[in-house]
């Protein structure tokens, strides 16, 4: 009789171990959940950045977007990439154009803020500059 009880327990234990090793909660949390949470956070920050602009700045951004996207997508300014015979739009040119015209993109704004934070940390002595 003990043999009959051991088989279902062994089968249940084996099934649970196979199920749990195949789908780890840490893999789900570190992969899917963390990625979607960070994407949502960045979208929320980007929307807040653009919504905080004044109406005049929004109007200027619209005209600058039209001008800069036209400039970056011209055939002579396109960037050659494998698989794209006509090239792709020049994103760095677009970003610099928007920044120079007074309406930096959210990504350019974030990189400027990060550079300011690094400079402040260097000034406080938290980061020692590397000499080459």
- Reported as a single tens digit per residue, the pLDDT across 48-84 is 999 999 999 999 999 999 999 999 999 998 888 888 8
Determine how many CB atoms are found less than 10 A away from the CB of residue 43: 10
CB 62 within 8 A of CB 53: no
Give the pLDDT mean for 4-29.
68
pTM (predicted TM-score)? 0.64
Rounded distance between C-alpha atoms, residue 27 and residue 127, angstroms: 34
| pLDDT computed for residue 20 by the predictor | 63
Asked if residue 98 lies in contact with residue 64, where contact means CB atoms within 8 angstroms, the answer is: yes
pLDDT for residue 15 is more than 70: yes
**Per-residue exposure over 18-37, b if at least 16 CB sit within 10 Å of its own CB, e if not:** eeeeeeeeeeeeeeeeeeee
Q: Using CB atoms within 10 Å of the CB of residue 110, give its burial: 0 to 12 exposed, 13 to 18 middle, 19+ buried.
A: middle
């Amino acid at each position: 009789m003990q043999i009959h009880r051991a088989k279902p327990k062994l089968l249940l234990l084996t099934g649970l171990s196979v199920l749990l090793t195949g789908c780890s909660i840490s893999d789900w949390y570190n992969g899917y959940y963390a990625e979607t949470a960070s994407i949502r956070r960045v979208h929320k920050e980007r929307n807040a950045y653009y919504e905080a602009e004044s109406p005049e700045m929004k109007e200027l951004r619209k005209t600058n977007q039209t001008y800069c996207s036209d400039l970056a997508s011209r055939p002579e300014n396109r960037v050659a990439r494998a698989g794209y015979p006509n090239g792709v739009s020049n994103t760095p040119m677009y970003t610099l154009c928007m920044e120079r015209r007074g309406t930096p993109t959210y990504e350019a704004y974030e990189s400027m803020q990060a550079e300011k934070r690094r400079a402040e940390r260097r000034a406080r002595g938290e980061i020692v500059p590397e000499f080459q």
